[in-house]
Amino acid sequence: MKAFSKMLSLVSRMSDSGEKRSAVMDYFRKAESPEAAWAVWLLSGNKIKKWTTLRVLQQWCLDTTQLPNWLFEESYNLAGDLAETIALIVGQTGETDTMKLKMLMEEILIPFSQADEIVKKDIIIKTWKSLDTDSVYVLNKLLTGTFKTKISQSMLCKALAEVGGLQESVVMHRLSHVFTPTEESYNALMSPITQENESSRPFPFYQGFPMDPAIQTTDIQEWQAEWMWNGFRAQLIHHAGEVFIWSEEEGLMVDRFPEIEQSAQILSEDGIMDGVILAWKDGKPLPLSALQKRISSASVSNKLLKEFPVVFIAFDILSVAGSDCRSQPLFWRRQYLNQILGLSGPDILVSPVLESSDWQQLELLKEQAHEHCANGIVLKRKDSPYLEWKQKGDWWEWKKNPYTVTAVLLYAAKPRGKHYANFTELTFGLWNDLELVSFAKATSTLNHVENAYVNNFVRRYTVEKTGPVYTVEPKLIFEIAFDDLQPSSRHKIGMAVIRPRIVRLRNDLDIYHADEIERLIHILKRK
């Protein structure tokens, strides 16, 4: 367990994904199969039943160490994380950590999850004393249902594939079925013998690049323009009468989109299509949040199917009747796509081509992207092949300009656990009649000179401090950009601001230059 926890702790502070992957690989290379099986199970997002809360664990920690609560709180204030604080206090620092992950899961966490509070407390205090700090941290996270890692499913698959000498898609395919955390399952997962039904795999997803302004000097007729859909990129595979949906992010998704699978069943030919999954109702796309709600639930209920139906919007075809057609020019593939999809069910659509005679007209169209739940326009060269991943070339993503408003700083805070950091958690307000109301919170991306300015401002103009939040005199003006607005009953102003961020400090303006809430309402209505 020590090796597993140490790997997680290392990965949690690495930023380079290559380095993270090699740490994961390093772990699996050295781990014994029964341990590795549980590691795969946990890293695939499986969860045990929640035992208790962090505050209860805190109490158990105080009971076993006899430390006063004030001293615990003082420590927590510095560390900034409750699970970590407990781990640092009770974790062993010697080489006593001999607990196996398998033993922890099979002999403690699963059998005793229904036990009485008293029994649980005894077991956990005993277990704590046999673990080092990293492992206590992992245990605390597992117990409280807050176990999360920075290892994505696709990184896990890549790492396992490399360790086992397998194709990444084979590992993905095998992991997409229910994985039982046993030695046998792990050995099967890593088995070099490939089965026939593992052959229906996606191609690498081609990625667009941010728009290069030079493109606007070329002939617009060379380009095919489409909406840059704000959905889930996926490949739809129809192979020997079976349908597979591979998401770029999540890998193979089984039984998540029955309506798309049904529509694809009736295709007459085998093929692989590239496109996006969108929530779609009454002939119109629904916002991304609808799709997220649909995906976040573990099983697809009838209610969910009715409330958030989905479609597959195809924009390319990569294989026809078993043969790779990626080297054919886009206009050829597009024709073929139209043909083949003419015969599918209602829940597969073709991404429409946006016609415009010049760049100016297209740019105007681009600014309406949000009305179509899109982030902008994608331009694809009509005579281009479908390129391999990471090659810069014929696809350009032309994003809609963000919305901007002028807003007033209302509250500032430091990130929790970083007492010597800058005030980077900033909340901004807009006018509503004669009152400033908060509308968005953003993390500062200012440079260190501007941050110092904000720090000084906050120190000087704080009128009240509640917990970590400093209320300041409304004086300091910022330009704020955001991607979109969504109606929301959870927010005071009746809408959620999507991806708000600071553009710049406007110390040339005073508060009467700040915008009114009215402006947001207007943007929301236009959609």
Partner 1 sequence: MPMTDPLSPPLLQINENGLFCQVGNFYIDPWRSVDFAVITHGHSDHAKAHSRAYLCAKPSASILRIRLGKHINLQTLPYGESITHNGVKISLHPAGHILGSAQVRVEYKGEVWVVTGDYKREPDLTCDPFEPVPCHTLVTESTFGLPIFNWPNPEEVHKDINAWWDYNAIQGKICILFAYSLGKAQRLLSQLDANIGPIHTNPAISAINKAYEAEGVYLPNLDNSSGDARPGSLLIVPPSYLNSRFTESHYINTTAHASGWMALKGMQIQNRSDRGFVLSDHADWKGLLQTVEDCNPEKVLVTHGFVEPLVKYLNETGVQAYALNTPYQAESPILREQNE
Positions touching partner 1 (CB under 8 A) are 9-10, 12-14, 19, 65, 67-68, 70-72, 74-75, 78-81, 84-85, 88-89, 91, 93-95, 132-133, 417-421
Longest dimension (CA), the chain: 77
Closest CB 412 distance from partner 1, rounded Å: 18
**Residue among 12 and 216 whose Cβ is closer to partner 1:** 12
Structure tokens at 108: 């403690």
> How near is the Cβ of 62 to partner 1 at its closest, in Å?
11
Q: Tell me how far, at minimum, the Cβ of 66 lies from partner 1, in Å.
A: 9
Q: Is 406 helix (H, G, I), strand (E, B) or coil?
A: strand
Of 133 and 247, nearer to partner 1 (C-beta) is 133
Residues 484-504 as b or e (16 or more Cβ within 10 Å = b): bbeeeeeeebebbbbebebee
Least spacing, CB of residue 466 vs partner 1, in Å: 22
* Residue in 281, 278, 203, 282 with CA at minimum distance from that of residue 235: 203
- Under 8 Å between Cβ of 228 and 399: yes
For partner 1, the closer of residues 66 and 217 by Cβ is: 66
**Residue placing its CB nearer to partner 1 in the complex, 69 or 339:** 69
The CB-of-418 to partner 1 minimum distance in angstroms stands at: 6
Q: Closest Cα partner for 405 from 365, 352, 358, 442?
A: 442
Task: Give the residue with the Cβ less far from partner 1, 75 or 438.
Answer: 75
What element of type H or E holds 451? helix 448-461
Q: How far is the CB of 85 from partner 1 (least distance, A)?
A: 6
Q: Work out how close the CB of 505 gets to partner 1 at its nearest, in angstroms, rounded to a whole number.
A: 23
Beta carbon of residue 463, minimum distance to partner 1 (angstroms, whole number): 25
- Expressed in angstroms, the distance from the first to the final Cα of the chain is 52
Judged by beta carbon, residue 97 or residue 250, the one nearer partner 1 is 97
Pair type for strands 223-229 and 462-466: unpaired
**60 or 223: CB nearest partner 1:** 60
Secondary structure letter of residue 56 according to DSSP:
H
**Which DSSP string do the residues of 102-152 spell out, in sequence order?**
HHIIIIIITTTTTS-HHHHHHHHHHHHTTSBHHHHHHHHHHHTT----S--
Q: What are phi and psi of 441, to 5 degrees?
A: -120, 135
Extract the tokens encoding 302: 């009838």
Q: In Å, how far from its chain's centre is CA 363? A: 29
Strand, coil or helix: 98:
coil
Q: Which two tokens stand for residue 169?
A: 């898609």
Nearer to partner 1, 85 or 176 (CB): 85
